[in-house]
Amino acid sequence: MEVEAFKRLYPLPFYERYLDSSVRPDGRPLGRARPTSVSLGAVSTADGSAIVKIGNTTMLAGVKLEVMVPSQETPDQGSITVDFQMPPICSPLVRPGRPVEAASVISEQLSNVLTSSELVNLSELCIAPGKAAWMAYLDVYCLDADGSLLDTALLASVAALAHLQLPAVSVSEEGRVYPVSSTTSGDVSMEGAETSIKVKGNSISPRRRLKLGAAPFALTCMVHKKHLLADPCAEEETLLQSSITITMNQMGRLVSFYKPGGAVPATTAIVKECISLARRRAREVQQILKEALEDHIESPSLMQTD
């Protein structure tokens, strides 16, 4: 029988033939993830943005900042709102007008992981306690859905937050926030401020990057009866059904272990193997992100060491 016909009629045995030789149809070994690339500053109008590609899966993340009055329970904290969307451009399975259930699930998982990992210390987003704080809107758009959506979305979010620069602002005593332009790194001049406000009464915070905690990185693995595949593409995800998504940070802490049902139960052996694959992947991705940040930063004085 021809290979194409065999693949159409018996997709699972076709795949198993490859898996038994510890390789996948695209030539990847079972434990290896697809080529990953991070590109920062894709959206010039956003305060922080990144485009991430893992294989064919492409995600665009952007952060926009807005000034808000902090809540009374947490007067010295800002907030982050995460929104994940899968527009019809990303997959033939997404129809316009009808939101895919996968989008809500990944959106919930993404905000859960970002909160659990304590990547952003919300006190960093404070401008003046009790009067003004930053509200960050993190929007992630899926441009091409080819498997491992959470992994790519999380990496895009982390990259966008790493790229984010809080603008230099000046706060008046009443709590009004004015943008400030910095001509040189040491000299700050006022712009667009009312002439009646005294400069001495205002506190000025300089333009700066956020100091981030240990970044979380996710890896999705598909569990088959005898094999464990890392970073599946969309075809593998629909075929093999049972998936485990592990999120680890650089400190080796398990941020999230997500296994939503599936025919294959996860024994301790599978759990340990997935964790070691995730750990290796976190190191790989950390390196890729660091290189992307170093390439992007123009002035060395703004360089942050993670």
Q: By the criterion CB under 8 A, which residues form the site for another protein?
A: 101, 104-105, 107-109, 112, 116-118, 249, 252-268, 270-271, 275
Among 179, 167, 180, 173, CA closest to 197: 173
**For another protein, the closer CB: 25 or 213:** 213
**For another protein, the closer CB: 268 or 301:** 268
Supply the minimum distance, in Å, between the C-beta of residue 83 and another protein: 10
**For another protein, the closer CB: 8 or 253:** 253
Matching residue, tokens 């996710």: 218
**Token reading at 212:** 């981030």
Distances 210 to 93, 105, 159 between C-alpha atoms, Å = 37, 28, 12
Residues 163 and 51 sit within 8 Å (Cβ to Cβ): no
Supply the minimum distance, in Å, between the C-beta of residue 195 and another protein: 47
**For another protein, the closer CB: 108 or 191:** 108
174, HSE (Cβ side, Cα atoms, 13 Å): 4
Residues 176 and 192 sit within 8 Å (Cβ to Cβ): no
**181, 183, 186, 190 alpha-carbon torsion, rounded to 10°:** -40
Supply the minimum distance, in Å, between the C-beta of residue 236 and another protein: 17
Supply the minimum distance, in Å, between the C-beta of residue 275 and another protein: 6
Supply the minimum distance, in Å, between the C-beta of residue 267 and another protein: 4
**For another protein, the closer CB: 193 or 273:** 273
**Token reading at 253:** 């802490």
